[in-house]
Structure 1
């Protein structure tokens, strides 16, 4: 049974234990440490993999420092190696100066030839222009940093870096202007801390997680940054103040920082947009996605658990033969791919099994649901095996593996392979998996059974600290016992299963060029680089 996500942060003592067990994330000797911390390097990697990357971050963790490294690599490289101009836009002239200073430091570190630097008047289409800072490289490209005005991007080309995007006056217009950079091979990097749940920056992230936008995303909060060595780097830079790093010093520094931010710590340090509370799905939207599909319900008295095993098996086998299999034959389309989700309960809550088929127009349909009340685990397994074994074109399933569900989740993986995944519910699970489901309801790309209790389960989800999650509240079930969003969780798990990547296997004969080796196909050496990927790989060893 899925419990509410644990959003409480580690205490000071817990943090000391965590960091002592982890040990240092970076070498104590500055001559041996990489120049970028893990999350900073991830920004550079994502910019290599994606044309648009969005970074939601904790305050003052050095995301802009990592972006400046990427900017120097691009603007100091020739066009044939991916070189392009960089246009940085922050919310103030001070931010522009900070970015230019960071870029200048990277240029010195990378030994890139700078042919000019200084203040300029940037032509943004207005009569007077705007004050900007610029670095010119021998490659012929430049880094220009200025304050954020959408018209400044019009007619430009290259690598756009939009910093603290949640705090600009008109983010939607700024992003719209930046997207033109992509036409001729440019890139867009959007970085910010949060500024409210309804801010366009948070809505952009929600659309990415919902699958509406295929952009890269990087997220790191204060604790993520500390695990990657943020305070170790602070001690290195400010040794006169902090001395040598220890887990205890880091825990004290962390506690003071959280205390200083007070009520703003969630948003400023932990990437949780403020004012994010209330219902996840409104009732009318849930009802609009309901279709005529049966809900099979099976329950037993407490005494059934003590019946002999052969009687329990026979009773459930009869129910499978007379109730379940006829519904499966009448509702499942044998031509469609099918996923499966299972939320597990036993004594208080229900077990719900949810098949989900993907139609030819990519709509997810729940052809029927099975709800079990006080059914022994052996018989739950018996019903699950009969159902999953009969699902056409089965592509995988997800099973609640939290608490009492662990055993059934394990047996599912043993019987149906790695495509049947056990899920332990966490804040990260809800953060990643809930937006796509909400998008499916909003876009009319899901159909669920028309049933009052199924609808009530979906209305149980609430937005807590900006994340759709399942609170501890339980409601009575018509068949007895209680419900804790059981059908809703099963639907979420099934939807997640239909989004899991699956790869068809094929056989390719050995060619005359000779067989593949441990280092890759014959004729492709370890030092070879794919087309268009020459810039970053050659410098990666110096940065990470």
Structure 2
């Protein structure tokens, strides 16, 4: 016999025991409420450290279904529990709320409420709010429930979506942006099917599972939902597509005092002699970047975010520091076009050797970017440099933090046409804020070229790096020129000779 719960159901329960506040945005009929009925029994029934469980629905049918599941699990777990009883739950209102209750010998109970309580004052334990997007006054309900976390209780909020502007979705966005403490779990139909949902349906209905049967079942299901399939099955809030950051929000966070510097290498530059290339780049850095380093606060940590490109798109690096009010100031953005791999490595190391108190950086490790990120980790340490691949989970983790800083005006970025264009390219795709495929023409760097939201990714990575709790390292120059980046030095070690890459000049 297969396990009672599917993998994602177990993961949801486990996550609810590691955080006092969990939000689960889910597809329809994936069995999350069923799983938490099992958890409710195991929470209320033990002889040691039991807790009350309060399940809050928005109608009596949901309440009866949940309590029915709890009764089944109580029998399966050999827990002695009487039949559910109907009660009037005293929430401080005149009429109270119709509820169902299961009492356990532990002295604790599962109480399933058929509507939003006016108050949870004096209650203690675990609160499960089901289909939260469809509760009237969800914000007030959540506020009342959160009080239970002060003494070791927890709150689990489960729902499908009901629009991008719904309080359930805005609460999720606040958690992802770091405005609220909590965790978010996302479960769409594709994830549930991959982890055995339809196989379980076949087991319950007596059908023999085949890939073809599952594909036909999903096709028919999506056809029944029609235009609502994206929200009901794919966890994409309605009206949740289109521009992620309004132009007004971006421009309000821009400052003309913060520069963008651009380096474009001529065609065929990568075929020139190595010393010629690096002398060219070093001279450019001395002229255009060294003066910018004087604007840094020498007593504050420096962070950076990077998005890699070799040719075609921009390869930007955004450097930033916090000010005394904890605003993140992007000191400058460096945009590179047609800069060879070795020179990009040289440029990054040249700058990091000169900024004050370099603390953390996050780098694009997608495709060819993985080599650059690996070189940086070898030079500066994997505890300082994190290599990130462009995935939906990465965008969900970090893009809301960038949005929150821009909306709250706790971040300043350069006032620049290219930066604006890149940030405007962020779109909600299947509910995920990301850069869609395809580039656009731009003249932001003074010559016609393509942009693909590259600075938006660099700024996102800058915010993510600045959120890291890492102790800064101090770098001191010896004042003696050692070598140019990319040169190899032979060093005798043990049984032979190894080569060592020296990564920056004048260090």
Q: CA offsets, 1:467-521, max 9 Å, x none? A: 322232413133222222222221111112222454799xxxxxxxxxxxxxxxx
**Contact 2:58–2:116 (CA<8 Å) still a contact in 1?**
no
Q: Which runs of 5+ in 1 are unaligned?
A: 1-29, 506-544
Seen in structure 2, the aligned counterparts of structure 1 residues 197 and 40 have a Cα distance that, compared at 3 Å, is same
2:363 to 399, 406, 417: 399
Higher relative contact order (CA 8 A, sep 6+): 1
SS in 2 for 1:151: coil
**Considering only aligned residues, what root-mean-square deviation do their CA atoms show, in Å?**
2.3
Partner of residue 488, structure 1? 456
In structure 2, distance between residues paired with 1:184 and 1:307: 68
In structure 2, distance between residues paired with 1:309 and 1:184: 65
Aligned pair 1:35/2:4, yes or no? yes
In structure 2, distance between residues paired with 1:247 and 1:100: 34
Partner of residue 346, structure 1? 310
Taking the TM superposition and a 5 Å limit, the aligned residue runs for 1:473-484 are 473-477=439-443, 478-480=445-447, 481-484=449-452
In structure 2, distance between residues paired with 1:305 and 1:324: 22
Aligned pair 1:446/2:373, yes or no? no
- Bigger share in helix: 1
Report deviation, 1:378.
Answer: 2.2
Report deviation, 1:116.
Answer: 4.7
Partner of residue 379, structure 1? 343
Taking the TM superposition and a 5 Å limit, the aligned residue runs for 1:238-277 are 238=205, 240=206, 242-243=207-208, 245-277=209-241
**Contact 1:275–1:466 (CA<8 Å) still a contact in 2?**
no
Partner of residue 65, structure 1? 34
In structure 2, distance between residues paired with 1:380 and 1:454: 20
SS in 1 for 2:22: strand
Report deviation, 1:154.
Answer: 4.6
Report deviation, 1:316.
Answer: 0.9
SS in 2 for 1:114: coil
In structure 2, distance between residues paired with 1:414 and 1:247: 45
Seen in structure 2, the aligned counterparts of structure 1 residues 313 and 504 have a Cα distance that, compared at 3 Å, is closer
In structure 2, distance between residues paired with 1:166 and 1:83: 29
SS in 2 for 1:367: strand
In structure 1, distance between residues paired with 2:284 and 2:402: 32
**Contact 2:97–2:115 (CA<8 Å) still a contact in 1?**
no
Partner of residue 324, structure 1? 289
Partner of residue 125, structure 2? 158
- The size of the alignment, in residue pairs, is 468
**TM-score of the superposed pair, with normalisation by structure 1:** 0.80
SS in 1 for 2:393: helix
**Contact 2:330–2:412 (CA<8 Å) still a contact in 1?**
yes
Displaced runs of 4 or more, over 6 A: none
Aligned pair 1:213/2:177, yes or no? no
Report deviation, 1:272.
Answer: 0.9
Report deviation, 1:95.
Answer: 0.6
Aligned pair 1:137/2:101, yes or no? no
Partner of residue 416, structure 1? 380
In structure 1, distance between residues paired with 2:377 and 2:468: 15
SS in 2 for 1:402: coil
Report deviation, 1:274.
Answer: 0.9
Report deviation, 1:89.
Answer: 1.2
In structure 2, distance between residues paired with 1:180 and 1:403: 47
Seen in structure 2, the aligned counterparts of structure 1 residues 101 and 415 have a Cα distance that, compared at 3 Å, is same
In structure 2, distance between residues paired with 1:205 and 1:265: 20
2:145 to 171, 178, 199: 178
Report deviation, 1:203.
Answer: 0.2
In structure 1, distance between residues paired with 2:470 and 2:83: 51
**Contact 1:475–1:484 (CA<8 Å) still a contact in 2?**
no
Report deviation, 1:281.
Answer: 2.0
